[in-house]
Every structure is written in structure tokens, then in C-alpha cells.
Amino acid sequence: MLWSCVKTEQKKLRHSQLWLAFLVIPLLPAFMGAANYVNNLELLKSEWYSLWTQHSLFYANFFYAPLIALYCSYIWRVEHLNYNWNQLMTMPVPPAEIFLSKLLLAVRCTVALQLWMWVLFLIAGKTVGLPGLPDPQILLWLLRGSLGALAVTALQLALSMVIRSFAVPIALALLGSVAGLLASNGGFGLYWPYSLMLMGMNANKTDDMVSSFLGFGISTLVFTAAFTCFGILWLKRRDIRAA
């Protein structure tokens, strides 16, 4: 039944223009990162690694979480409009499968975003004249950031479910990212979900921020499981809304 729920959610998004936002908006951090790199060549001497510090500075800290939040807000927006929530609550589908189907689609979106950003990173590097290809370690950082983003995705999905406003969860994601930057710089990154994706991507750093992948993985798993369980339990306790 979970796969049927996933296909139903996909149908709801079929005519949306989300793909355009996810195609265009990431161009901004890619351009900003490349411009910052070119303007600081006297300080940035590590070629692809230096470009990654600038690329990830803008993307990971200010764009990635809000883009995840945008997607999560949109896939709950359909339920919040008119009487769609009442229809959802009367469907013969377990709440867990409703939430998990939306979560799976959101996770797919986060991974697609990362792969698109990798393409933009390669294009930016060649545009500014970097030789060869980046070290595979940078790609591993990018993919590890997708793992850290699981916690953010589950959290944003829960927030967008509870908060009927479309914009508020997106604003909270931006604030969470800024707080995540402060937390990771202060050594508390493993205790704040928004820090995990920054640490995973090694945002604005050349030295690896994840000293223990085990600790990183456990923190990601705990946060993801906690927010997912909250979302499912909250959905189970909801009732039909009055108009």
C-alpha cells in the first residue's frame, strides 16, 4: 500500500511547477560561489577544494534547507486547502503510510537537488578555469550531506503538516540553517538537525568537519526517526477539521 500512496502523491505533483524552482534557484548559490572564488584567488589556493568552500558556503547555509522546506510545504499544501484534509483523514490508509509516502518523495527531491548542485559545481569549476576534475572526496561530502539532510527533511515535513502556512516553515528552515552554522562552529553540530547537512557537506571547509562518521550517522538516525515518529503520531491523533 505504501507504493500506492507514493504514486498517488506523485499524481498530485504532476502539474506543479516545482521543478522550475529547483532548476533555477540553485543557480544563485552556484553563481555566488564562483564569483566569490574568482574575487579571492589570492587567498583561495586549493583549486577545486577552494571552489567548494565558496560553493557550499552559500548553498548549504542559505539555500538547501529552504528548498527542502519549499517542497515539503507544497506537498502538504494540497491537504491544507479546502476540504482535502477531511478527505485525507477519511481514506482507508494508515497514517504511517501517508506520512512515509510524502517523506520518500521529499527525500528523492533532496538527493536530486544534490546531484543538480554537483553538475553546477562542475560547470562553475570549468567556467573559472580549474584543471581536471574535483577530488572524489568532494562528491562523497555532497552525498554525505544528503544523508544529513534526512533529519531536516523529516522535520520540515512534520512542520509543514502541522503549520498550515506555506511560507512559515520555509522561514523556519532558513533560521534553522543559520542556527546550524553557529552550532557547528561551536562544536554542537551533532545536536542540531540543521547542522548535520552542513557538516555532511563540509560547508565552507577544506578539512573534514565529521570526525566520527558513527556519531554523525547515529545523530542523523535519531533525529530522522524522532521527527518521523512525531509526524505519524500527530497524524494518527488528528480528526476531521471543521470548515
Q: Is residue 190 part of a domain?
A: yes
pLDDT one-digit tens code per residue, 172-207: 999 999 999 999 988 899 999 999 999 999 988 877
Average pLDDT, integer, range 150-161: 96
- Which are the contacts of 86, defined by CB distance < 8 A and separation ≥ 6? 240, 241
The number of domains in the chain is: 1
pLDDT one-digit tens code per residue, 106-123: 999 899 999 999 999 999
Q: Is residue 107 part of a domain?
A: yes
Q: Is residue 13 part of a domain?
A: no
Q: Is residue 205 part of a domain?
A: yes
Q: Is residue 1 part of a domain?
A: no
Q: Is residue 5 part of a domain?
A: no
Query: Rounded to whole angstroms, how far apart are CA atoms 78 and 235?
Result: 16
Burial class of residue 97 (count of CB atoms within 10 Å of its CB; 0-12, 13-18, 19+): middle
pTM metric for this prediction: 0.91
Q: Is residue 12 part of a domain?
A: no
pLDDT one-digit tens code per residue, 85-99: 777 767 777 888 889
The domain in which residue 187 lies consists of 18-237
Q: Which of 159, 211, 161, 155 is nearest to 180 (CA)?
A: 155
